[in-house]
Amino acid sequence: MKKFYKNKKILVTGVTGFKGAWLSQWLISLGAKVYGLGYNPNQNKNLFYKLNLQKKVKTKLFDIRNYKQLKSLIKNIKPSIIFHLAAQPLIYESYKKPHLTFDVNYRGTLNLLEISRGINSIKSIIVVTSDKCYESNNSSKGFKETDLLGGIDPYSASKSSTEIMVRAYRKTFFTNKKNVGLSTARAGNVIGGGDWSLNRLIPDCVRSLLKDKVIEIRNPNFNRPWQHVLEPLKGYLILAMQQFKNPKKFSGAWNFGTKPNSLTNVKSIVKYMIGFWGKGKLKIRKNKLYEQQNLQLNINKATKYLKWYPTYNIKQSVRFTTDWYLKVLKYKKKPSLVTLEQITQYEKDSKIS
């Protein structure tokens, strides 16, 4: 992987976001030339700026719905690989702003693909959607890539409709016509240091723990495929590399979930976190909005064809995450240093060379 990514020109959309910051930090450490597109960054709490990535990633800040600006950005960079992460990614926000959620998530991807099909330098595109793109059935049996797409809330539906659009572009313009790899990646709820989003479990916990406040949780018994952010990112990196080399074999839809039988509920995650932090209390709060109770991904396809497999179990992932916040917030270590140390540790534990 290190040999492959060295000096590759890569565009990351959503670079100023949580996953975008970890991904670009990792790509830089692999020797890639990283370019970014972000929008409306919150500079006070934003991991991207805490890692000083604005100095290492040539980044433009504008709305991905602006077709003209996006076209000129991609034409100027001439990337060979694109990781498309830009989105409105929060379910709760999607209830408040359904039009914006559909518009950014669907039209943003549509703009990117329409522009990319006219640019010859591009050889591999990963569109990040979500495990929530599947039709909800509240079963804890893992969804396979071939299962029915659905989505009741606006966020989930925006991602499943994006899946169908990407498939049409793949079949019509990319893999079959231009020999360019185009895949969607469906991952679960990620955790990791440096996430400050509102209404996400780990950032909410850290905010409460820091102020010695009780942690309030909405859905204590909901199961989620929690995973450390580096797990799906490893999947995106392997997939982008494989479909670059062999677009016909590797282009498609891919799940990057947790190890089988590792469903963990919200309450257990918070309890692990309190344990690793050293103190804290939790309280259950009622939730009236619809969210799927169980969500699990079947990862057989990625394991078989990409040789991708999660490195950590859920407890190790919560420990790794809590460590990041403790080192940065309590022991005042530099966020960039802690992040790089964790990437190196993860590469070692995953036997990545």
Ligand X SMILES: NC(=O)c1ccc[n+]([C@@H]2O[C@H](COP(=O)([O-])OP(=O)(O)OC[C@H]3O[C@@H](n4cnc5c(N)ncnc54)[C@H](O)[C@@H]3O)[C@@H](O)[C@H]2O)c1
Judged by CB under 6 A, the residue of 5, 27, 34, 38 near ligand X is: 38
Q: Name the residue with the smallest CB distance to ligand X.
A: 17
Cα 108-177-76 angle, rounded to 5 deg: 45
Residue pair 263/225 in contact (Cβ under 8 Å)? The answer is yes
In the complex, minimum distance from the CB of residue 58 to ligand X, in angstroms, rounded to a whole number: 15
In the complex, minimum distance from the CB of residue 351 to ligand X, in angstroms, rounded to a whole number: 25
φ/ψ of 106, rounded to 5, equals -85, -55
In the complex, minimum distance from the CB of residue 323 to ligand X, in angstroms, rounded to a whole number: 19
Q: Does 86 bind ligand X (CB under 6 A)?
A: yes
- Map residues 173-212 to x or -, x wherever contact with ligand X holds by CB under 6 A: --------------x-xx------x---------------
For residue 253, the number of C-alpha atoms closer than 13 Å in the C-beta half-sphere is 27
Judged by CB under 6 A, the residue of 10, 64, 240, 338 near ligand X is: 64
In the complex, minimum distance from the CB of residue 40 to ligand X, in angstroms, rounded to a whole number: 6
In the complex, minimum distance from the CB of residue 256 to ligand X, in angstroms, rounded to a whole number: 10
Name the nearest CA neighbour of 235 among 63, 50, 23: 23
Q: Does 235 bind ligand X (CB under 6 A)?
A: no
| Residue 4, number of CB atoms within 10 A of its CB | 18
Judged by CB under 6 A, the residue of 109, 130, 162, 255 near ligand X is: 130
Q: Does 104 bind ligand X (CB under 6 A)?
A: yes
Judged by CB under 6 A, the residue of 49, 56, 58, 63 near ligand X is: 63
Q: Does 253 bind ligand X (CB under 6 A)?
A: no
**262, two tokens:** 């590792």
In the complex, minimum distance from the CB of residue 132 to ligand X, in angstroms, rounded to a whole number: 7
Name the nearest CA neighbour of 23 among 334, 329, 13, 49: 13
Q: Which is nearer to ligand X, 86 or 343 (CB)?
A: 86
Return the SS3 of 127: strand
Q: Does 120 bind ligand X (CB under 6 A)?
A: no
Return the SS3 of 17: coil
Q: Which is nearer to ligand X, 122 or 187 (CB)?
A: 187
Q: Does 128 bind ligand X (CB under 6 A)?
A: yes
Q: Which is nearer to ligand X, 20 or 235 (CB)?
A: 20
Residue pair 348/342 in contact (Cβ under 8 Å)? The answer is no
Q: Does 50 bind ligand X (CB under 6 A)?
A: no
Q: Which is nearer to ligand X, 178 or 291 (CB)?
A: 291
Q: What is the DSSP string of 239-306?
A: HHHHHHH-HHHH-SEEEE---TT--EEHHHHHHHHHHHHS---EEE----S---S---B--HHIIIII
Q: Does 291 bind ligand X (CB under 6 A)?
A: no
**241, two tokens:** 């590399």
Judged by CB under 6 A, the residue of 30, 35, 77, 89 near ligand X is: 89
Residue pair 334/49 in contact (Cβ under 8 Å)? The answer is no
Cα separation values, 263 from 222, 223, 293, Å: 9, 6, 11
Residues near ligand X, by CB under 6 A = 14-20, 37-41, 63-65, 85-89, 104, 108, 128, 130, 187, 189-190, 197
